[in-house]
């Protein structure tokens, strides 16, 4: 959920969404997919199915003006279920390669962007940029492609440290008297539930 905070904004996963993510831990992974999935594994909304619960992660945008003018900022929205399953099945957009593995953990990647002007912090933007499903033999990540768009990308790897670590598309660039610092941290889902 997005909220304006003094000197910035925060768009982080709320406890209700964290509970939906946590509910798939311990279950056997089946597949992920979306009827709108591209060949590059990107879509605005993607579902993840286990033998128990299913969830859908969608990219949404909201307007904030903490930078001095209204601008769209992306956020991750989590819903229960997989409404798009039958359409994705008909269009051949189900991905089963991790099927049969157990979901051992769910992690959230949180990024903080800080703008400094003339040596003073002018704003801070905190946002969750990815969700990583740790499986018994691999990982599946869904991540924002940009800070300013709804598009999500999917990446899979044998381990968390083998996931692509590419910087998201953004428009923040250092200039005369202005610097930007980006910091990422990984948070276990139970830590979000405990906040």
The two three-digit tokens of residue 181, written as one number? 């610092």
Res 2: pLDDT: 47
pLDDT digits (tens, 9 = 90+) for 7-57: 677 889 999 999 999 999 999 999 999 999 999 999 999 999 999 999 999
pLDDT digits (tens, 9 = 90+) for 67-87: 667 788 889 999 999 999 999
- The half-sphere exposure of 32 on its side-chain side, counting CA atoms within 13 A, is 25
pLDDT of 5 > 50? The answer is no
% of the chain with per-residue pLDDT over 90: 65
* Whether pLDDT at 1 is above 50: no
How many angstroms separate the CA atoms of 16 and 184, rounded? 23
Q: What is the per-residue pLDDT for 7?
A: 64
Helix (H) or strand (E) holding 140: strand 139-144
The CA-atom distances, in angstroms, between 85 and each of 41, 109, 135, 146, 152 are 16, 26, 21, 25, 17
Alpha carbons within 13 angstroms on the beta-carbon side of residue 10 total 7
Please state, in angstroms and rounded to a whole number, the distance separating the CA atoms of residues 38 and 49.
Answer: 19
pLDDT at 172: 72
Quote the CA–CA distance of 118 and 116 in Å, as a whole number: 7
| All structural domains of the chain with their residue ranges | 2-158+175-194
Average pLDDT in the 172-179 region?
Answer: 81
131 has which bridge partners? 108, 142
Residue 190 pLDDT level (bands cut at 50, 70, 90): very high
């Amino acid at each position: 959920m997005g909220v304006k905070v003094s000197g910035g904004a925060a768009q982080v996963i709320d406890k209700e969404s964290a509970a939906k993510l946590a509910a798939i831990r311990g279950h056997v992974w089946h597949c992920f997919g979306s009827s709108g999935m591209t060949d590059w594994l990107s879509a605005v909304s993607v579902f993840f199915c286990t033998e128990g619960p299913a969830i859908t992660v969608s990219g949404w945008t909201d307007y904030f003006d903490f930078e001095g003018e209204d601008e769209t900022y992306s956020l991750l929205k989590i819903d229960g279920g997989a409404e798009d399953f039958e359409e994705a099945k008909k269009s051949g957009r189900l991905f089963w390669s991790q099927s049969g593995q157990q979901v051992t953990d769910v992690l959230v990647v949180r990024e903080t962007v800080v703008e400094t002007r003339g040596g003073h912090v002018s704003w801070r933007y905190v946002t969750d940029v990815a969700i990583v499903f740790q499986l018994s033999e691999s990982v599946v990540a869904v991540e924002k492609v940009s800070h300013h768009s709804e598009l999500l990308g999917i990446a899979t790897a044998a381990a968390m440290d083998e996931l692509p670590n590419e910087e998201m598309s953004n428009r923040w660039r250092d200039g005369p008297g202005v610097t930007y610092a980006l910091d990422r941290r990984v948070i276990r889902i139970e830590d979000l539930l405990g906040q």
